Amino acid sequence: MIRTARMEDVKNIHTLINSFAGDGLLLNRSISSLYDKLRDFRVYTDDDNNLLGVCALQITWDNLAEVRSLAVKKEFQGKGIGAELVRNCLEEAEKFGIERIFTLTYQPGFFQRLGFKQIDKKELPHKIWSDCIHCHKFPDCDEDALMYVKRKDG
């Protein structure tokens, strides 16, 4: 089940995201940053309300949002949870009238299967790089940039 993240999810979100940050696959997130951005997050839970996956949609600019912090517990990967979370974020963007959604990722094939297309990072506004200055790879980012563009006719 996918739902909006709640206060009681923050510590589990923190643990899950930072487990991938330790592998260099995601940016490390502090507890305070998760509380600050809690409304951006969706969680995927099982029937017992155990958190299995997480993803955020952050509005970044005029008609532009980012799918970020996608993480699924390793033992549950390959079961469609990540794809469901991303689709949920795309639906949320549509509710706001946002037609362009980007992601920065080490897994471009996953996002391409969901309709994202490779782009040059230079196409993104400078504003989106505010989190990047905290990354140990800045300014030599080796993530792929991809964009999903919602067609106006559906």
Q: How confident is the model over 27-49, as pLDDT tens digits? A: 888 999 999 999 999 999 999 99
Let me know if 61 is exposed, middle or buried by CB neighbors in 10 A (0-12, 13-18, 19+). middle
Global model pTM greater than 0.75: yes
pLDDT at 130: 60
The answer to whether residue 16 is domain-embedded is yes
Question: Is the pLDDT assigned to residue 131 strictly greater than 90?
Answer: no
Q: Any idea which residue has 């809690």 for tokens?
A: 38
Q: Any idea which residue has 């699924």 for tokens?
A: 72
Instruction: Report the C-alpha gap between 69 and 78 in whole angstroms.
Output: 17
Determine the average pLDDT of the residues in 107-123. 93
The answer to whether residue 13 is domain-embedded is yes
The answer to whether residue 59 is domain-embedded is yes
More confident residue, 142 or 120: 120
How many structural domains comprise the chain? 1
pLDDT at 128: 61
The answer to whether residue 143 is domain-embedded is yes
The answer to whether residue 50 is domain-embedded is yes
What CATH number is associated with residue 89? 3.40.630.30
pLDDT at 24: 79
Q: Quick one: pLDDT band at residue 152, thresholds 50, 70, 90?
A: low
Domain boundaries, position 9: 2-149
pLDDT at 42: 98
Helix, strand, or coil (residue 76): helix
Determine the average pLDDT of the residues in 124-149. 70
Question: Is the pLDDT assigned to residue 114 strictly greater than 90?
Answer: yes
The answer to whether residue 57 is domain-embedded is yes
The answer to whether residue 154 is domain-embedded is no
pLDDT at 142: 73
